[in-house]
Amino acid sequence: MRDPNVAVVVEDDDDVRNLLVAVLQQAGFEVHAAATGHQGVDAVRAHHASLVTLDVGLPDIDGFEVLRRVRQFSDAYVVMLTGRNDELDTITALHGGADDYMTKPFRSRELRARVVAMMRRPRREISGWPEPDTLMLHHSPEPRRTVTAQRSKILQHNGLTLQVDSRTATLRGKHVAFTRSEFDLLHDLFRAGGAVRTRAELVRVVRGEQDGEESYISEADQRAVEVHLGNIRRKLGDDPVNPQWLITVRGVGYRLAPARGE
């Protein structure tokens, strides 16, 4: 079981590593540091960390390989750090299971704020298996009444159902596995009810920030949201030319597609 107060910093630059350790200690974490990828994997495993900051450029194996190995045994939050502002790096990190991605030099306050907000959110990724409430929903003789009674907990649109409490999703009865960030973005767009959500607003959803919070949002942050939404479209098989769920509003953000007759 991971310890909610333990963090592991994987960074080969002494100055950056010391800064990260200090920032996380100030945020209340017991922090363990590693200078190589192999040491980082071992530290995450040994200390059951709940948070990992992971440099992409390491002297032995790169951060993406460390992330792949960590994801084999840990569901810790992972923040990738890199000196390159490369869209391919962002896509690779998020596809590999990272929760956030920041470029160096980073703002210490921003990193701490992101971490604190991240730790407030449910960590469990969306599994492909239904929870008991979901089974009741699909096998109930009166599903419409069940949905009405639990309107705030079950959201449906064009055959896609989100079970908010269990954080599970089904598409016309088949289970879809979304990551935490993907589920949060879908949930936010469902609740918006067709209103446009800007990229900045969706970045704050992924970070777990409260409405009204103001924080710096970079182009990399917005690209990360685009990657998450692209992953959602791929998993749903949504056609961007004739979308059933996600519509891109060019230059602004995204909104839910109009409802269709089932």
- Tens digit of pLDDT for each residue in 18-55? 999 999 999 999 999 999 999 999 999 999 999 999 99
User: Can you give the CATH number for the domain in which 33 is found?
Assistant: 3.40.50.2300
With CA atoms as reference, report the closest residue to 229 among 258, 259, 260, 198: 198
Residue 110 and residue 35 share a domain = yes
The answer on 59 and 161 residing in a single domain is no
> Considering the chain, what is the average pLDDT of its residues?
82
CATH number of the domain within which 248 lies? 1.10.10.10
Predicted local distance difference test score (pLDDT) of residue 142: 34
pLDDT of residue 141: 33
**How many structural domains compose the chain?**
2
Domain span including residue 217: 132-256
Q: What is the pLDDT of residue 45?
A: 95
Q: Give dist(CA 242, CA 188) in Å, integer.
A: 21
Strands (E), the chain: 3-10, 30-34, 49-55, 77-82, 100-103, 154-157, 160-163, 168-171, 174-176, 197-198, 246-249, 253-256
C-alpha dihedral over 246, 249, 253, 259, to 10 degrees?
-30
> Rounded mean pLDDT of 209-219?
70
How much is the pLDDT for 54?
A: 96
Task: Rank 41-50, 149-158, 227-236 by mean pLDDT and report only the highest.
Answer: 41-50
Sheet holding 168-171, edge to edge: 154-157, 160-163, 168-171, 174-176
Greater confidence (123 vs 118) lies with 118
Give me the pLDDT at residue 234, please. 92
**3-state DSSP assignment of residue 49:** strand
* Confidence (pLDDT) at 247: 95
